[in-house]
Structure 1
Amino acid sequence: MTRFVALLPAAGSGSRMTADRPKQYLPLLGKPLLFHTLLALADTPEIDQVVLVLSPEDTGFDAALTGIDLDSELSGKLTVLRCGGDSRAETVRNGLTAIASNLATDDWVLVHDAARPCLRSTIVSKLIVSLRDDPVGGLLAVPIADTLKRADSAERIAATVPRDALWRAQTPQMFRHGMLLAALQTGADGSITDEASAIEAQGLAPRLVMGDERNIKVTYPTDLALAALYLQAAQPD
């Protein structure tokens, strides 16, 4: 049977948070931000394994998750690798290579940002159902609702950009293991900002699946407060 594996690249430092630690280890509702992200993926019935790819020099994971029974909380699905690279693309590529012996080339990999803790397992299941028979794969995304402005060098408006057919990419981004690994091995890191762009560079067109506005990426300090509100609202009474 086809397998579905989640992969989280988490080798970055999150410098825009101006924090004393990588943002995935910042506290969020009493637990590290990363824990909430891992839990959403582990709670998705279709996901067989959750692979976390850390930097070899990472010293924060064990300290941040002390006291949490990860094996029990995450249903025994978590695998931690310490083979992260200098870029997202390199980290994902290294992770895919490390798990290659355990996957068929047609098995699906869902790459998700470690700093998107408000992901809901129901949305992950929706993505899987939408793409499991797709020849290419795809990603969660939401149409852009705001008016877009292009700035000039003086930060004045140079043009209003039509928003028709524009979407904001989210994660997870879901592609077959063999296809994604081959795309990342041939693509140039500088031009690859997400997994979909690596697939696009191969002349393929990933499918857009309606995502969730609450699936925010924690990038700036104010994002933590918003993430806490979303997570609290999702908790049962």
Structure 2
Amino acid sequence: MNHFSQEIIAIVPAAGIGSRMQAQCPKQYLPLAGSCILSVTLNVLLSHPAISRVVVALHPQDEYFAKLPEAQHPKLTQVIGGGERVDSVIAALASLHEVDAWALVHDAARPCLTHQDIDKLIASQRQFPQGAILAAPVRDTMKRASGNGCIDTTVPREALWHALTPQFFPALQLKQILQQAVAAGVNVTDEASAMEWAGIMPGLVSGRADNIKVTHPDDLPLAQLYLSHHQHIKQALE
């Protein structure tokens, strides 16, 4: 059980159009596990007892979200997102009124997140009071390419990690740093990259490798497989 005194608010940037999925609708609305990717993602966050509220940032012309059952959930708040992921996260953070809240920022297209990994990340605040992210150690041999498409060199993988989400930081500080980074023209690839730019080194919390991001069409059946496995384990423990 987590003994975390501050309020925890999950933020889900979901204003993208997912062009790489070659789909007729934004990728977060593609079918998965009897509903859609975004529904599955939101349910993981809404059902976690330590998360008091979920803020989802949507495209201004979004015509799908209102049809989801989660849209009426009492713990859920909607805001209008921006052109880039960082703009959506800033918009969600700007809507918060809780001074001491912590933000748990999670990708809309990572539906395989588990409550156990959320618990680990929240508990890490004792070790990493500056904030932390879920991450997975790199397992494969890593190659750096040359300009002609050949291998330039092999990169030692011992200190390399795949950055995952959620990423967990004090909400007010995160908002200020993201705004400053955008104003300075920094390429903000995730929340941690902005914190690093500001001289704050987030902690790394080892997360499950099946916390995949659905980016390409062949990721969907893999996500379905992982979700089915999670459900079988849950049923076996009940």
Q: Does 1:9 align with 2:13?
A: yes
One of 83, 87, 93 as aligned partner of 2:84:
87
Distance 1:117 1:167, change over 3 A: same
In 2, Cα distance between the equivalents of 1:134 and 1:156? 40
Contact 1:144 1:163 in 2 (8 A): yes
Ranges in structure 2 where 5+ consecutive residues have no aligned partner: none
Distance 1:195 1:55, change over 3 A: same
In 2, Cα distance between the equivalents of 1:195 and 1:136? 13
State the TM-score, normalized to the length of structure 2.
0.91
In 2, Cα distance between the equivalents of 1:77 and 1:35? 14
Could you say what secondary structure the match of 1:187 adopts?
helix
Alignment of 1:147-186 (within 5 A): 147-186=141-180
Aligned to 2:122: 128
Extract structure 1 runs of 4+ deviating beyond 4 A: none
In 2, Cα distance between the equivalents of 1:170 and 1:69? 24
Distance 1:77 1:85, change over 3 A: same
Q: Does 1:146 align with 2:144?
A: no
RMSD over equivalenced CA pairs, Å: 1.5
Q: Does 1:55 align with 2:49?
A: no
In 1, Cα distance between the equivalents of 2:154 and 2:70? 51
Q: How far is 1:135 from its partner?
A: 2.7
Could you say what secondary structure the match of 2:51 adopts?
coil
Contact 2:128 2:202 in 1 (8 A): no
In 2, Cα distance between the equivalents of 1:32 and 1:152? 39
**Post-superposition CA distance 1:111-150 (Å, at most 9, x none):** 0000000001121011101115733101000110100111
In 2, Cα distance between the equivalents of 1:200 and 1:226? 32
Q: Does 1:191 align with 2:191?
A: no
Aligned to 1:223: 219
Aligned to 2:28: 24
State the TM-score, normalized to the length of structure 1.
0.91
Instruction: Report how many residues are paired.
Output: 227
Q: How far is 1:153 from its partner?
A: 2.1
